Amino acid sequence: MPVDLSNRLGCKAWQQRQRIENSVKHIAKGKKLKNPPPWCQYRILKSALRISGLWGVTYKQYLHPTVERNTFHITDLKSDLNGFKILQISDLHLDLDPAYLPSLVGCIKALKYDLCVLTGDFQNSFNAADQVVSLIRPLLDEIRTQVFAVPGNHDTSDLISKLETAGLPFLLNENIPLKIQKSNFYLCGVDDPIYYRSHNLAKARLGVPEKELTILLSHVPTTGPEASVLGYDIQLSGHTHGGQICLPGGIPIAKGSSPRTRVKGPWQEGNLQGYTSSGVGASHIPARLFCPSEITLHTLRVVN
Ligand SMILES: [Fe+2]
């Protein structure tokens, strides 16, 4: 049975997530898929990489995350928040191949940050909750600050519940005020907007005073326009893996659901400043080409 998250997600969002999770159970029982996922495409891609001699290169890129640095320039930023650093980790897909973990933990150990956020896709397959909770332990032990997460399209409610029990709190269409010395800002998070479609950006900022700085965690960057209309200041996303397998120059081979301008790095939507992380892990095959995996160190800076 899925864990009941209705009191946190909101009734409608919970029913939506539950309906999709039950359909996943049908898939697990061997019933036919209406829209089969592209596993066979990935098998072909893996074979192509092996035949072309690129497999070793792509696996090496997968194994070693890089640290990307991004600055959000904000008018009227409270002085206590000037220089505040947020470490973003996204798309771990831990059960696919956790061989990158020692390198990832080493990267994090060397960084200084004030808050850590994880923007979804902890598991790759839908039934890896226990494995993921075990694998993520060294990472959670290394994070020395407060940490919050949102789910991705791969993350089931039982996984969310087990990760919370393991000490990783989620924001499920919810927000939390964070006090930095004498100043507040609000960290808001939504459930997955693309597969479960159980996100609610309006609910996620309920009770937030209009003039306070709001940072939204949303697994996919496609929520940018709605987040902008609702007055969020910053959105942090993942999901795209930056394209994962790209042409030279980081040009994604496959066109995903996200607009080209929001596949990776910083982007702007009205007054909203957004950032899409290329993520740490990979989908379906542990390989990256012309698209290094990343963790991201964001800095808040006041506009002079
Ligand atoms: Fe992902």
CA 88 to centroid of ligand 1, rounded, Å: 14
Q: Is the pLDDT of residue 31 over 70?
A: no
| SS3 category, 89 | strand
Among 174, 172, 154, which residue's Cα sits nearest to residue 164?
A: 172
Say how many Å lie between the CA of residue 43 and the centre of ligand 1: 18
Asked whether the predicted pLDDT for residue 206 surpasses 90, the reply is yes
- Going from the Cα of 284 to the center of ligand 1, the distance in angstroms, rounded, reads 10
Q: How far is the CA of 181 from the centre of ligand 1 (A)?
A: 35
**In which band, very low, low, confident or very high, does the pLDDT at 284 lie, cut at 50, 70 and 90?**
confident
Q: How far is it, in rounded angstroms, from Cα 118 to Cα 155? A: 12
pLDDT of residue 255 exceeding 80: no
Distance in Å, CA 91 to ligand 1 centroid? 4
- In degrees and rounded to multiples of 5, residue 39 shows phi and psi of -60, -40
* pLDDT-derived band at 38, boundaries 50, 70, 90: low
Roughly what angle, to the nearest 10 degrees, separates helices 55-63 and 39-51? 110
CB 90 within 8 A of CB 118: yes
pLDDT band at 134 (very low <50, low <70, confident <90, very high): very high
226-254 pLDDT, tens digit each = 999 999 999 999 999 998 888 888 888 87
What pLDDT is recorded for position 36? Answer: 45
Alpha-carbon span 175 to 182, nearest angstrom: 19
Instruction: Report the pLDDT averaged over residues 107-118.
Output: 97
Round to whole Å and give the CA distance between 285 and 46.
Answer: 7
Pair 253, 245: CB distance under 8 Å: yes
Distance, in Å, from the CA atom of 65 to the CA atom of 106, rounded to the nearest integer, reads 10
Angle, CA 89 vertex, CA 246 and CA 130 arms, to 5°: 105
Tokens at residue 51, please?
């035949």
> For residue 285, how far is its CA from the centre of ligand 1 (angstroms)?
12
pLDDT at 46: 79
What is the mean predicted confidence (pLDDT) over 205-221?
96
Compute the average pLDDT of residues 161-188: 96
- Computed over every residue of the chain, the mean pLDDT equals 91
Q: How far is the CA of 179 from the centre of ligand 1 (A)?
A: 31
Percentage of the chain beyond pLDDT 70 is 92
The two counts, helices (H) then strands (E), for the chain are 10, 13
Distance 223 CA to ligand 1 centre (A): 16
Calculate how far, in angstroms, residue 122's C-alpha sits from the geometric centre of ligand 1: 8
Residue-level pLDDT at 53: 81
Q: What is each CA distance from 69 to 117, 165, 297, in whole angstroms?
A: 15, 31, 5
CB 92 within 8 A of CB 140: no
**Domains of the chain (ranges, CATH numbers):** 6-302 (3.60.21.10)
Determine the distance separating the centroid of ligand 1 and the alpha carbon of 214, expressed in angstroms: 24
The gap between the terminal CA atoms of the chain, to the nearest Å, is 53
CA 124 to ligand 1 center in whole angstroms: 8
Q: What mean pLDDT is predicted for residues 155-177?
A: 97
Enclosing H/E stretch for 44: helix 39-51
Dist. CA 2 → ligand 1 center (Å): 21
Residue 34, pLDDT > 70, answer no
* CA 207 to centroid of ligand 1, rounded, Å: 31
Dist CA 195 CA 262 (whole Å): 18
Backbone angles phi, psi at 178, to 5 degrees: -115, 125
User: Are the C-beta atoms of 173 and 203 separated by less than 8 Å?
Assistant: yes
- Which residues are within 8 A (CB) of 263 and not within 5 positions of it... i.e. 6 or more apart? 221, 240, 242, 243, 252, 256, 276
Residue 27 has pLDDT above 70, yes or no: no
- Residue 39: pLDDT band (50, 70, 90) is low
The whole-angstrom separation of Cα 67 and Cα 77 is: 25
In terms of Cα–Cα distance, which of 3, 46, 16, 55 is closest to 198? 16
**What amino acid occupies position 46?**
K
Give the per-residue pLDDT at 1.
Answer: 53
| pLDDT value of residue 33 | 44
Q: Residue 53, SS3?
A: coil
